[in-house]
Structure 1
Amino acid sequence: MPVRTVLTIAGLTLREASRRKVMRALGVLTVLLLALSAWGFSQLGAAADDGGLTSGEKLMACSQILNLVMFGFSLIAALGTAFLAGPTLAGETESGIALAMLARPIRRSAFLLGKWLGLVVFGTVYVVLAGVAQCLVVLATSGYWPPEPATALALLAAQAIVLLTLAVLLSTAVSPMASGVVSIGLFGSAWVAGVIGGVGAALDNEAVERVGTVSRILLPTDGLWRGAMHGFQDPSVLHRFAAGEFEAFPFLSVHSLTAAYLAWAVVWVVLVWSVAAASFRRRNL
């Protein structure tokens, strides 16, 4: 597989993505969320300065609100990658653009890898830029800085990569709109299942807790998100809760991710991409 061909297609994918209206929508949503969070954290900082909050309460509030805002950014990234992956692959296939490029000749696997790589760069750059901007906003308005921002942002980027890989797979089989809708639906379902699993853990109900565990294996987005939350929140926050009580909080994470789970996320991406390549290879253009 020629590396130059893959990189060229990735560059073209990035250029095409930058021209889509989805990018403008992402920009507007990002600015609005940054502005809203800046106002909220400034109010929180003012309340702490006036003595309305103790230092411990401020840390807990900052940790949970930052996780909430970062979930908003992860949702924006999910929407962007899912609805870019569909038109980028399925749209070009339906319009005949892909057929014109593949006639040069270019192997279908190289074409798909280039498209995927371009979307990976887009999702990663967005998550890093938006995440760093948000952390700086929080620092400037409330004085809070997350303990492991680099790790947390890397896991958020990994979450976006997992979702866009799923969207690429779906776009090889269904229409662009359907692939985006199904991807976002599965993303939301995995998060809800994770919350249900947390409630089960808090109630010491293994059957309910297993719902979250299974969902994180089938689709690693929620597992990666929980690892990211652990990097954004202050470690002292968990000490304010009784054992197991914090499991039910959707914007608190108890444990960092294990190496085994991170390895599974990588294997999951490779497996799903391989299935997407096989599906695209058999598709009539």
Structure 2
Amino acid sequence: MSVFTVARLTFLEARRRRLLQLVLVMGIAFVALFAVGYYLIHSQGRFAMVGERLEVSNILLLMGLYAANFLGVVLAVVMSVDVIAGDIGSGAMQTLVTKPLLRWQVVVGKWLGLSVLLSVIMTLVSAALVLVAWIISGYLPDHLPQGIALMVLAQLLVLTVSIFGGTFLNTLANGIFVFMLYGLVFIGGWIEQIAAFAGNQAATNLGILISFILPSEAIWRRASYLIQPTFLRQLNAGPFVTVSTPSPATVVYSVIYVGVVLALAVIVFQRRDL
């Protein structure tokens, strides 16, 4: 058995639990609801200028992508919260590691399988939302591939932390750990934005420091910054405009973060007494 075999088995396990079917149904419902709302607002709205129409189109799409990003975080936790801890608790892990399979292959294989699955789901949902916006209003956001890629990266950050937590926590404790951690950085992101708007450098630095704990929220803000039209960024118009924009270095840090946390998960799991 290899890493790719474990990844394939992880994917098959998700299908056996009917997770894929549930995600498909709920994803279609989410996109359909967004399409109805987008159409009603866009068709019945009265816009004095082309710029207003563009701003509304962008805000509506960003609202949909923001909701998709949040649901992706929830999905990342739900899919991975018991992928290690659950197998340990049920005794399945003891059987798995007694076969010619190294422990690091188990961790990396499960991470790879869930990462591919989550990336495909997030890409399809995000692309569907953009397609709806384009069909109804003819609007296409700037830097779309980069924006969707960053959204996927934000989900992979949460997924990796959840798998890491599963190597030393039980399922319930791991779920609480990941959601509380995400809540902390979510609040930190708003502290940074409000403080930057108010010109409070100390509070802004505090928000930036908190984002280093888990940079998923910072990555989302970077994605939303790229997706917005240039003139809206310059005008600071709209509720999704980021006053304090994460730099490209945040993306590099996030990629390194995923690698380091995954390596820590392997180290902790190798030392754990099953």
Aligned mates of 2:259, 2:65 — CA distance in 1: 26
What's 2:42 paired with?
45
SS for the counterpart of 2:6 is helix
Distance 1:68 1:264, change over 3 A: same
What's 2:188 paired with?
193
Task: Using the aligned pairs only, state the percent identity.
Answer: 27
Counterpart code for 1:118: G
Counterpart code for 1:221: S
Counterpart code for 2:106: F
Q: Could you report, residue by residue, the CA deviation over 1:195-224 in whole angstroms, capped at 9, with x for unpaired residues?
A: 121010000011221232112222110111
What's 1:227 paired with?
222
Selected match of 1:140 from 135, 142, 152: 135
Aligned mates of 1:180, 1:19 — CA distance in 2: 22
Deviation at 1:58, TM superposition (A): 1.7
Selected match of 1:69 from 38, 54, 64: 64
Q: CA RMSD in A?
A: 2.0
Q: Which moved more, 1:20-29 or 1:225-234?
A: 20-29
1:251 aligns with 2:240: yes
SS for the counterpart of 1:88 is coil
Counterpart code for 1:33: F
Indicate if the aligned counterparts of 1:30 and 1:73 stay in contact, CA closer than 8 A. Answer: no
Counterpart code for 1:74: N
Q: Could you report, residue by residue, the CA deviation over 1:224-248 in whole angstroms, capped at 9, with x for unpaired residues?
A: 101111232222212334xxxx6xx
Indicate if the aligned counterparts of 1:198 and 1:250 stay in contact, CA closer than 8 A. Answer: no
May I ask how many residue pairs the two structures share in their alignment? 274
Deviation at 1:52, TM superposition (A): 3.6
Selected match of 2:201 from 206, 209, 217: 206
Q: Which moved more, 1:150-159 or 1:52-61?
A: 52-61
Matches within 5 A, 1:53-132: 53-132=48-127
What's 1:152 paired with?
147
Q: TM-score, normalised by structure 1?
A: 0.89
Deviation at 1:254, TM superposition (A): 5.5
Counterpart code for 1:77: G
Aligned mates of 1:11, 1:64 — CA distance in 2: 38
Aligned mates of 2:43, 2:158 — CA distance in 1: 38
1:7 aligns with 2:4: yes
What's 1:276 paired with?
265
1:263 aligns with 2:248: no
Indicate if the aligned counterparts of 1:227 and 1:255 stay in contact, CA closer than 8 A. Answer: no
What's 1:173 paired with?
168
Deviation at 1:183, TM superposition (A): 1.4
Deviation at 1:158, TM superposition (A): 0.5
- Extract unaligned runs of 5+ from structure 2: none
Q: TM-score, normalised by structure 2?
A: 0.92
Indicate if the aligned counterparts of 2:81 and 2:162 stay in contact, CA closer than 8 A. Answer: yes
Counterpart code for 1:227: R
